[in-house]
Structure 1
Amino acid sequence: MALTVKRLSLVDWRNARDRTVELSDAMTVLVGPNGCGKTNAVEALQLLTAGVSFRRPTPAQLVREGAEVGRAQLEAGGDGRVMDVTCTVSQGSRRFTRNGKPVRPSGVAGELLSVLFTPDDLDLVKRSASVRRDELDGFGSQASPAYGRLCRDYGRAVDQRNRVLKGDDLDVGLLDAWDLSLASLGGALLAHRRSLWEKLGERAREVYAELAPAEPLGTEYHSSIGPVDAGATRADLEELLGAALAESRERDLTRRQTTVGPHRDDPCFTLSGRSARDFGSQGQQRTAVLAWKLAQVRFCEEHLGRRPLLLLDDVMSELDEHRRAAVSAYVDGGIQTVVTTTHLGYFDEATLARASVVPFERSDDGDEG
């Protein structure tokens, strides 16, 4: 039995004065009206497992109005181990601890994997490429600390190169140095990202075929450095990116920003060979996103040997009966799941009989969630 979350405790966190939620090893349903704190609980679980929040809050936004310190804590157990992760927010800062020892936000990820699905994710297919890059890199950073370090190091290198490009006096030697660094880091990131994209894409295609066998889902990776052979090595990618940076230098100087590299790539979906963004119906696009999220669950099980915590924030109301049944099937397969809803009617009686239902009531203390 892998680690599962047993308990979530919130003290002066968002709109919660003092709230404890006991979680089932199977499915926990948080039910209540909008504004009662259900999403706040899901956000805390993501923050305590991935080190980041999909809302991207400032520290002050996490502390209940009128309080000076806010705290979120999860307790987990399994495989003969116990673990707690705490995030304490005060004076404009966030501090994480694991079993009482300080840890960086980036160090939170990896012990307990989580897959989050929100209504905003249903637009993943038709939104900008940056959203899909962030989705892919966010999952990759949870699955592999090395992937997360590459993302951070590459991002810093892009920022530094852009500073040189924006400077009043161009330092060609410094620009050359950052080109070398960017080619090395970008080539490594591109190799990792393309590999992860293909593995997740394979599983997404499998899930989509189960949900909608009539039209095949495809996944493509459009690189800003041009066409890349499927068998390209990390060294090949470093060389290609270095050449692309040299070729784009005049354009970059004119625009004063780095216009090629993994931060400009577009991982995208197709349906029957055509762009899902441009030609897919809303139902097809939503099925593609659902397949993508469930592919992450499948990847964790098959490649990492662990089952993630599946967080579903008010998505059942956005899915039709067929797609809700597909999600329920994954939950019934042994995936620990926390789902929020305003209405239990979105679940069949058999699913609810196996779930732990936790009522949430509207609080007079704070914001919506």
Structure 2
Amino acid sequence: MGLIVNNISLVNFRNFRMLSVDFSQSITILVGHNAVGKTNTIEALQMLTAGYSFRKPTPVQLILEGEKQSKIHAHLTGDGRVIDLSCTISSLRRQYEKNGKKCHATDIPGDLMSVLFTPDDLACIKRSASYRRGEIDDFGKQANKTYAKVLAAYLRSIEQRNRLLKENVVDFSLLNAWDTSVALGGAALLRARLKLFRRLSAKTSEIYKQISGGENLVLRYESSIGEISADQTKEELLDKFLSSLKDAHSIDERRQQTTVGPHRDDIVFLINGKDARMYGSQGQQRSVILALKMAEVLVSEEILGTKPLLLLDDVMSELDKSRREAIMNFTFGDIQTVITTTNLGYFSPDMVDVAKVVSFE
């Protein structure tokens, strides 16, 4: 099975003074009422596998009220390896360690990736483009350490260019210089994002066809700089992006922001040729996101050679029986999965029998 998380311990983390949870190598169900800390446990697992939290909290928000710091620790084994991961959180920073040695958050997913599915994800198609971009970028930050650095560098350059555009009188010689910096970073990000998107989109389409009864799904990347593809070289993408930035000078100056680039791109989901955002039913949209999450699991395994940790945070209550069964059939006995729920009735008796059930009170 590869690496698995055997245990996680939390000290002064969120609402917990102290918590220790042992996990099954297959399925662990965390059951309890709302607001007892089940999602906080999922968050800690994500931080120690992905290197970030889906909630995007400040450090202070991760510390129990009245305390100065918190700590989370996970013990992993598998493939003849033993790995201890920890993160100590103070009011100013988060310090990660791997086997007792300090490391960066981007080093964390190098051994075991995680795929998180939350109720918010089910609205991905209806939400803003930034949410759909973020889905790809968050996965990319786990899949490739360089991806995170390229993304951060690009966003910094966009911030600097936007700051220049907000000045009363724009210095166009300086703007041209920032065009080059933005285009260099943007071309690198586009190339990495498009390659990852191609892998994810192919698998998402295959899975969707299986769980939808044969419907055709196409994922289309819509770039703000015109038609592009993963087959283009970095130089070709650079030239196209730079040209688009120059063409946008007037509108960028008027709007005081950079209006073209990968930070403005979108992903469109087409079901039988129609935009799922406009014409897809709620059930179809949820099946698309379910297929995308399953695709992330498969691509994670391709990248690392080991299955990821699957985290399902209270999604069973949001899915109908057929989609719950699709998830369970996909994960059953093959992928280490941690699920939170308020009701064990969402699961088949067979699953409850084989799962490790942990009660939160």
If the length of structure 2 is used for normalisation, what is the TM-score? 0.97
2:21 aligns to what SS in structure 1? strand
Separation of aligned partners in 2, 1:221 and 1:59: 34
Deviates more, 1:244-253 or 1:56-65: 56-65
CA RMSD of aligned residues (A): 1.4
C-alpha displacement of 1:334: 1.0
Provide the residue aligned with 1:105 in structure 2: 105
C-alpha displacement of 1:233: 2.2
Separation of aligned partners in 2, 1:143 and 1:93: 24
Q: 1:33 to 1:229 in 2, by over 3 A?
A: closer
Separation of aligned partners in 2, 1:309 and 1:231: 31
Q: Contact 2:27–2:333 at 8 Å: present in 1 too?
A: no
Q: Contact 2:208–2:287 at 8 Å: present in 1 too?
A: yes
Provide the residue aligned with 2:281 in structure 1: 281
Q: Residue type matched to 1:57 in 2?
A: P
C-alpha displacement of 1:163: 1.5
Q: 1:229 to 1:337 in 2, by over 3 A?
A: closer
Provide the residue aligned with 2:236 in structure 1: 236
Aligned pairs (5 A) from 1:340-355: 340-355=340-355
Deviates more, 1:344-353 or 1:60-69: 60-69
1:328 lines up with 2:325 in the alignment = no
Provide the residue aligned with 1:63 in structure 2: 63
Q: How many residues align?
A: 361
Q: Contact 2:32–2:342 at 8 Å: present in 1 too?
A: yes
Aligned pairs (5 A) from 1:182-331: 182-228=182-228, 231-331=231-331
Aligned pairs (5 A) from 1:121-132: 121-132=121-132
C-alpha displacement of 1:111: 2.3
2:18 aligns to what SS in structure 1? strand
Q: Contact 2:59–2:89 at 8 Å: present in 1 too?
A: yes
C-alpha displacement of 1:314: 0.3
C-alpha displacement of 1:176: 1.5
Q: Residue type matched to 1:323 in 2?
A: R
Provide the residue aligned with 2:135 in structure 1: 135
Deviation string, structure 1 residues 181-240 (Cα, Å, up to 9, x no partner): 111111121111112111101100111111012421110011000122564222211110
Separation of aligned partners in 1, 2:183 and 2:57: 32
Deviates more, 1:171-180 or 1:24-33: 171-180
Provide the residue aligned with 1:366 in structure 2: none
C-alpha displacement of 1:139: 0.1
C-alpha displacement of 1:81: 1.2
1:71 aligns to what SS in structure 2? strand
1:126 aligns to what SS in structure 2? coil
C-alpha displacement of 1:138: 0.5
C-alpha displacement of 1:174: 2.3
C-alpha displacement of 1:109: 2.9
Q: Residue type matched to 1:258 in 2?
A: T
Separation of aligned partners in 2, 1:200 and 1:38: 29
Provide the residue aligned with 2:45 in structure 1: 45
Deviates more, 1:115-124 or 1:53-62: 53-62
Separation of aligned partners in 2, 1:255 and 1:266: 20
Separation of aligned partners in 2, 1:230 and 1:298: 20
Give unmatched runs, 5+ long, in structure 1.
362-369
Separation of aligned partners in 2, 1:49 and 1:204: 23
Report the identity percentage.
49
C-alpha displacement of 1:85: 1.4
Q: Contact 2:2–2:306 at 8 Å: present in 1 too?
A: yes
Provide the residue aligned with 1:31 in structure 2: 31
1:49 aligns to what SS in structure 2? coil
Separation of aligned partners in 1, 2:60 and 2:175: 38
C-alpha displacement of 1:76: 0.6
Separation of aligned partners in 1, 2:113 and 2:288: 22
Deviation string, structure 1 residues 69-109 (Cα, Å, up to 9, x no partner): 21111111111111111111223332211111122223323
Deviation string, structure 1 residues 9-36 (Cα, Å, up to 9, x no partner): 0111111111100011101100111111
Provide the residue aligned with 1:3 in structure 2: 3
